[in-house]
Amino acid sequence: MKRHILILLFILPLFLKAQENLTLEVPQPPVDYSQPADLKPEEMLEQANQLYINQEYQKAAGLYEQILSSGKTSVQVYFNLGNAYYKLNDPARALLNFERAKLLAPANEDIDFNIRIASQFIVDNITALPQPFFLRWRSSVVNMASADTWARLSIITFLVFLVLAGMFFFSRYSWVKRTTFWTGLFLLVFSAFSFSFANRQKKALNERKYAIIFCPRVTVKSSPSSSGTDLFLIHEGLKVEITDSLNNWKEIRIPDGNKGWMPDSCAVRI
């Protein structure tokens, strides 16, 4: 019995240390605005929201960008900035900020709706390759919560598991041992899956392997060179996956699975 307790006490610090690595670090987009020294981000957000209500979308977008440049990223700021750019008839920038908001709140239905609306103004209407049902199911489950939420659930369920493990070892009643064993086993499995989901969400935030096309039209090449063979044409606003990079070129994959190289100046990472 003492050996089991010592093992649990040894595992707990290692597990909690792994959880600490899940702290979110959201990549900051490059901006050209400077934040006024006399305004706090909270005051700027309130002012930007009022400008948006007054239909002064250009000024509102500028303030939202200033908030982001100060490091105060949030779902609300990205979402409102996307709405402002949508009102300014700039679907590419609208989609960029909606997608950034979705990284922070993958289960938000309002963001999904706005992405669908803004996507209607994109020239390229490419049908995505169908995924196996288990991959679709996994993605839907992972996107039910953010990385922070999954990490908290993982920590909480693991701590409850430790309590149940203690009850299992010290209880004299067989029914308590049975109950705590099966409940603890379920919580341990749930904690492991939650940890995996949190890590997957964090990886998506850090890698930022998707981008939005910002050039009116781009000819995708067969090699990272202007002399490469022309493969296909894509247009502003299309969401692509970045699979490789070389010098000033990016290898991209579009939703239908086709791949090729394009200048990196035409793609802005989400």
Instruction: Write the pLDDT tens digit of every residue in 188-243.
Output: 999 999 999 888 888 877 888 999 999 999 999 999 998 999 999 999 999 999 99
Task: Give the list of residues 6+ apart from residue 122 with CB closer than 8 angstroms, or none.
Answer: 91, 92, 95, 235, 236, 237, 238
Whether 65 and 199 share a structural domain? no
Does 175 fall in a domain?
A: yes
Domain membership of residue 136 (yes or no) is no
Is-contact 48 63, C-beta < 8 A? yes
For residue 251, is pLDDT > 90?
A: yes
Residues 112, 46: one domain? yes
Q: Which residues pair with 259 in a beta bridge?
A: 253
pLDDT at 207: 80
Q: How many CB atoms lie within 10 A of CB 163?
A: 12
Phi and psi dihedrals of 223, rounded to 5? -145, 160
Q: 29 lies in a domain?
A: no
User: Are 195 and 18 in contact, with CB atoms under 8 Å apart?
Assistant: yes
Tokens at 35, concatenated: 């934040």
Helix (H, G, I), strand (E, B) or coil at 20: helix
Together in a domain, 108 and 46:
yes
Q: What confidence tier does 23 reach under pLDDT thresholds 50, 70, 90?
A: very low
Report the CATH number at residue 241.
Answer: 2.30.30.40
Identify whether the C-beta of residue 240 lies closer than 8 Å to the C-beta of residue 249: no
* CB of 50 closer than 8 Å to CB of 69: no
pTM for this structure?
0.75
Between 201 and 14, residue with greater pLDDT: 201
Q: How confident is the model at residue 38 (pLDDT cuts 50, 70, 90)?
A: low
CATH number at residue 46: 1.25.40.10
User: Nearest 5 degrees, angle CA 58-CA 60-CA 65?
Assistant: 95
Residue 195 lies in a domain: yes
How many domains does the chain divide into? 3
| Residue 240 domain-assigned (yes or no) | yes
pLDDT value for 137:
79
179, 207, 235 - which closes a domain = 207
User: Is the distance from CB of 24 to CB of 205 less than 8 angstroms?
Assistant: yes
Specify whether the CB–CB gap between 219 and 241 falls below 8 A: no
Q: Which helix (H) or strand (E) holds 211?
A: strand 210-213
**CB distance 70 to 50 below 8 Å:** no
Residue 239 phi/psi, 5-degree rounding, is -90, 125
Residues 71 and 99 in one domain: yes
259-267 mean pLDDT: 93
Q: Which of 207, 223, 249 finishes a domain?
A: 207
Q: Could you report the per-residue pLDDT of 121-171, keeping only the tens digit for each? A: 998 888 777 777 777 777 888 888 888 889 999 999 999 999 999 998 888
Do 225 and 197 fall within a single domain?
no
Same domain, 195 and 224: no
State the maximum Cα–Cα separation within the chain, in Å, rounded to a whole number.
78
pLDDT in tens, 62-100: 999 999 988 888 999 999 999 999 999 999 999 999 999
Within a domain: 260: yes
Same domain, 47 and 114: yes
Residue 107 has pLDDT above 70, yes or no: yes
Whether the CB-CB separation of 91 and 216 falls below 8 Å is answered with no
Q: Which residue type sits at 105? A: A
Which string of b and e fits 169-180 if b means at least 16 CB within 10 Å? eeeeeeeeeeeb
Residue 94 lies in a domain: yes
Q: Where are the alpha helices (H) located in the chain, listed in sequence order?
A: 2-20, 41-53, 57-69, 75-87, 91-104, 109-119, 133-142, 147-170, 174-207
Do 51 and 112 share a domain, yes or no? yes
Residue 32, domain member (yes or no): no
pLDDT the model gives residue 144:
83
Pair (53, 113) in one structural domain: yes
Whether 58 and 47 share a structural domain: yes
Contacts of 218 (CB under 8 A, 6+ apart): 233, 234, 235, 262, 263, 266
* Residue 78 lies in domain: 41-119
Q: Which of 26-30, 78-82, 159-163, 254-258 has the lowest mean pLDDT?
A: 26-30
Q: Which two tokens stand for residue 259?
A: 């791949």
* Same domain, yes or no: 214 and 252: yes
So what's the pLDDT on residue 1?
46
